[in-house]
Amino acid sequence: MSIQERLSSLGITLPPLAVPAAAYTPFVYTGKLVFISGHIAKRDGKPWVGQLGLDMDTEQGKAAARAVAIDLMGTLQAAVGDLARVRRIVKVLSLVNSTPTYTEQHLVTNGCSELLGQIFGAEVGTHARSAFGVAQLPLGACVEIELIAEVA
């Protein structure tokens, strides 16, 4: 099954490349690597605001991280033209807006990691990863994730 077929079977339509909200570029392509800038979680086109451990639980955070993965794949597709060119998702870095006592950032980030694995398969989609709890994110977003991919 192709990547596009997997996306379709899950009812996922990738968004177009978003215009940056600040002084940065959505991606940088160098050699065989594409560095995708951090994407914040969005719901209904607006920042998905919340703090894990305060007004959001782990399952809601996981859904937000999954939404970020969809946006990241949209940017990756814009960067490389065809997701079939992706040889490896190299690294995911996840920032989770959370209270000082919240300790399930890794489970929230699974929302992104699991979807990448579903779409790209284990060999390409399995990646190195970091998940951090932070005091706040831009616009009050609950999750922000960046990605590095190797392409052909």
Q: Which residues on adjacent β-strands are paired with residue 94?
A: 131, 145
What residues contact 14, with CB distance under 8 A and at least 6 apart? 7, 70, 73, 74, 77
* Prediction pTM value: 0.96
- CA-wise closest residue to 134 among 25, 28, 38: 38
Taking only the tens of pLDDT, the chain with its 152 residues reads: 899 999 999 999 999 998 888 899 999 999 999 999 999 999 999 999 999 999 999 999 999 999 999 999 999 999 999 999 999 999 999 999 999 999 999 999 999 999 999 999 999 999 999 999 999 999 999 999 999 999 99
